[in-house]
């Protein structure tokens, strides 16, 4: 009949937790970087400072997109876990072996 389709819900939980951890790390790192850059720009003026500030804004916008992508992965993993758990519960219920 071919290979059976299996989902390791515990592993999916682990992956989801790791994604959430990555998301927190990225968010904390970006916030810390923003604070340090703002502090540097308090005493830094001129064309180089202006260009650096522009580059930093562009970089932060790109980093925000990365953060949004990580959130989308976390949400997808969470939705997958919920869907697979619901299917498992339904199938076990049909078989009279409710969880």
Q: Does residue 4 fall inside a structural domain?
A: no
- 8 A C-beta contact, residue 88 and residue 20: no
Say which CATH number the domain at 85 has.
1.10.287.1060
Residue 26: give the domain boundaries.
9-94
DSSP result, 38-98: HHHHHS--SHHHHHHHHHHHHHHHHHHHHHHHHHHHHHHHHHHHHHHHHHHHHHHHHTT--
Q: Provide the domain count of the chain.
A: 1
Q: Does residue 85 fall inside a structural domain?
A: yes
Tell whether pTM > 0.85. no
Q: Does residue 27 fall inside a structural domain?
A: yes
Query: How confident is the model at residue 14, as a pLDDT?
Result: 94
Region for residue 96 given its phi and psi (left: phi exceeds 0; alpha: psi -120 to 50; beta: otherwise): left
- As averages over each run of 10 residues, the pLDDT of the chain (99 residues) reads 80 93 93 95 96 96 94 94 92 82
Query: How far is it, in rounded angstroms, from Cα 37 to Cα 33?
Result: 6
Q: Does residue 73 fall inside a structural domain?
A: yes
Q: Does residue 62 fall inside a structural domain?
A: yes
Query: How far is it, in rounded angstroms, from Cα 84 to Cα 29?
Result: 33
Q: Does residue 47 fall inside a structural domain?
A: yes
Q: Does residue 64 fall inside a structural domain?
A: yes
| DSSP summary character for residue 6 | -
Query: How confident is the model at residue 27, as a pLDDT?
Result: 93
Q: Does residue 22 fall inside a structural domain?
A: yes
């Amino acid at each position: 009949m071919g290979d059976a389709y299996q989902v390791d819900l515990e592993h999916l939980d682990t992956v989801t937790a790791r994604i959430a951890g990555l998301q927190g790390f990225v968010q904390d790192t970006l916030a810390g970087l923003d604070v340090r850059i703002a502090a540097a720009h308090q005493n830094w003026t001129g064309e180089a400072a202006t260009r650096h500030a522009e580059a930093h804004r562009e970089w932060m916008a790109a980093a925000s997109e990365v953060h949004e992508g990580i959130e989308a992965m976390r949400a997808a993993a969470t939705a997958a876990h919920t869907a697979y758990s619901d299917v498992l519960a339904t199938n076990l219920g049909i078989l009279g072996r409710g969880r």
